[in-house]
Each structure stands twice: as structure tokens, then as C-alpha cells.
Amino acid sequence: MKISFIGAGSVVFTRNLLRDLSIFSEFNDIEIALMDIDKERLEVALKIAEEIKEKRKRSWNIKGYMSLKEAISKSDYVINTVQIGGKEATYIDFDIPEKYGLKQTIGDTHGIGGIMRFLRTAPFLKELVLTIEEYAPSALLLNFTNPMSMNQWYINEISSIKNIGLCHSIPYTIEQLADYVGVPVNEISYKVAGINHMAWVLIFERKGENLYPLLFKAMDNEEIWKKDPVRFEILRRFHYFVTESSEHNAEYFPYFLRDEELIKKLNIPIREYIRRVEENEKVFNVFKDYYLKGKKEGFDIIREYYAEEEYDTSKEYAVQIIHGIETNNPKLVYGIVRNKSVIENYPKDSMVEVPCYVDKNGISPLNVGIIPEHLASLNILHINVQRLAVKGAVERDKDYIHYAVLLDPVVSSTLPLDKIPMMVEELIEAHKIYLKDLFKK
């Protein structure tokens, strides 16, 4: 079995997934291909892989590549964690909208930041799926690259390769909720569905007892409320808890970022992702100094990544999926897939995040049924934007990108109509190095 990691220089992510692989004895003798276009990052990833191999006494055949074709060739599984544009492009995504008066917190999923990140990623995704089609046509693509919904939608529009989008926001959300209501997470039963980073906790129970009343009560505790103020405000108004963090959801709903009083009251961290990018760069530099230069100065920054229980898997679903397929040991995971009426009141062509059953037959999304209409309406606002953005990329027509941004709930509630096209054009021009020939004109 061969597993290729594309974007292996995302070393924390790569390390988590390699640790997960190392826990299962069935994966003792496999080929691991690590690929990145950054030679230094690739070298660090290779050192980490060899360290895990030695510690776990695995017989892995580990190889590093800077060629996409060579890494993917004859792979059974392709794991994608590539981020196109890196820090420089992220600054552009925040700075230009801010100049026009549009604030963002994360900017990687919905809204103007999510759309621009998708457009930067689309040319690479096309190259990726074409390479898989030619050199590993039976492989399963496990995609971790955001913006998940638009990326997955684009992949499924241009290719028929097997694929699934993966995110850890649902298990982390359930873990947080367990803490808020004071119930051990392993005693909780739950059902979640919606769109990525904006899915709804539809069932939240312990032994048949509805735990939502406890959550409403917990929300009145000021110390708990401060941990998740935006999501608690959404719970207060819409009566269901939403996945992902408060800082993410602040820019998905049209109520928060245009209101300075709410920004202060809810402690919404403007430009939060910029802080994270800079922190991630510091973390990588410590990894680099440690693995390539033998320096331990600053190791306390990454010590938390080495504090896991010896045989605990991460909250990422990729290795669980691979294990379920390869061993026919059934798993229940959450994934981003084409809807096809899994959620009955969502568009069939949309990408939804739903429970999926995994075994030797592959990945089977489970029927969710009808989601409460007010929650569906909030999701469909973003689904409509996603469809237009993807259509713009598939048809190489920039007009659809303008339509998408004009319809975005946060952009349209914040900026004057005449400023929106100007902002879009300035962003497209600033990102032209990544967009290549994405548009006809």
C-alpha cells in the first residue's frame, strides 16, 4: 500500500497523520511518499517520518519528492494539505478588504477570503486531479485543504476520482460542548450535519437525555460564555449550536463584523488568522532548527506536540478511513461529500458535511433527512455563493466571481455596492501569479 502526502511541509499536520498510521499494526509495511515544493520543509517532514518509524519500529519505505507525478504514481491514497500562496497571499486577503472597510477574522472558508483562497487553489487542484487520473486512477483523494466546500465542489465538477473532504471541527466541537455541560465526551451521542465549518449539532444526548437544556443553562455562566461568545449568541437566536469556533463564525453571519459594539462585547479577534500564520511560522522554525540543525532552543514552543498519549490517535479522520477500507473494520466519520439528497432540503449538487460509514466498500454518506428550515436557510446563503464561485473557476468566467462576492452575506451587509467590484478586481490582480490562466480575460 502506498500513501502520498502532498504538501508534507505542513509538518504538524503531517506528523499527526504519520502518528495515526504508526498506531495500527496493519500499516507496518507500507510505502510513504512525502512531497513538497519547499526543499527545507520536505527535509523536516522526512526527519519527522523517520523518527516516528524508528520509535514505533515500523518497516515503512519513506521517500521524499518534489515532483507531484512521482509522489502520486501508483498511490492507493493521496492526502492533500497544500496551501497555495502561504503567508504573503494571506496578508493580501486581509489587507485589501480591510482597506475597503471589510474586517475578517480567519478568511479561509467563506466570504471574500474564502473565495480568494479557493481561486488561488483551483489551478493546483486541477493539476492534482489530472495527475491522479493519469498515474493513480484508483486512488482515494483525502483533501484537507480549505476552503473545503468550494474546493470539493470544484474537484467533483472537473473529475470523477474518488475523493472526500475532511475537517476536525466536528469532534473538537463535541469535545468543547462536553466540557461546557460537564459530561464526559465518551458518554455523548450526537448527530451533526450542514456545510463545512457551519454544520449544526442536531442531536446532543447522553443515554437518550437531551443535553441542550444543560447547554442553555451553561451559556448563562459568564466564564463559559466568554469561551465561545459568538456561537453562544447564535445558539441564543437560532436554538442550535454550530461547528467551528466563534472567531470563524463571526465572519459567516451578517450580524457581527459590521457592528463595533458587538466586536467589543463578543471579543471578536479581528485578523486572528494573521496571528496564527505568524505563530505557525515560529513553530516551523523551531522544528527546522531541531531536526536540521540539532538546536533545542525554543523547543518549549513545540513541546505540546510531543505530549500526546502514546497510543491516542488525533482527531483527523484520514487514517481511520484508510484503516476502515483496508481492514473492513467499519468506522463512522464525518466528511464533506456531494449532497445527492443526503440532506433532503439542501441542493443536490452542494457539498455537505455529514456522517459517513466506511468499510471495504468505501465511503457511504448516511441519510440525514430534513434539517430545520432556519438552519438550512443560513447554510444555503453560503451554498449559493459557493456555486457561483465554482462556476466562475470551471467556466473561467470572472463575472461569476463578482456575482458570488456581491451575494456573500457579510460583504453585502457591510460594503457599499460600488466598492465591492473594485475590491474584487484589486484582489484578483494581486493574486494573478497564483491564478495563472484561470480566467479567459
The residues annotated with a catalytic role in the active site are 168
How does strand 198-206 pair with strand 189-195?
Answer: antiparallel
Q: CA 319 to CA 358: how far, in whole Å?
A: 11
Alpha-carbon dihedral of residues 437, 351, 244, 309, nearest 10 degrees? Answer: -100
User: Tell me, what amino acid is at 10?
Assistant: S
Q: How far is it, in rounded angstroms, from Cα 52 to Cα 15?
A: 8
Residue whose C-alpha is closest to residue 121's, from 82, 149, 175: 82
Contact criterion met (CB below 8 Å) for 405 and 424: yes
**SS3 readout for 38-83:** CHHHHHHHHHHHHHHHHHHCCCCEEEEECCHHHHHCCCCEEEECCC
* Residue whose C-alpha cell is 466506511: 358
- SS3 labels along 284-329: HHHHHHHHHHCCCCCHHHCHHHHCCCCCCCCCCCHHHHHHHHHHCC
Map residue 84 onto helix, strand or coil.
Answer: coil
**H or E stretch at 119:** helix 111-135
Q: Which three cell numbers stand for residue 181?
A: 455541560
Q: Please give the backbone phi and psi of residue 74, each rounded to the nearest 5 degrees, phi first.
A: 65, 20
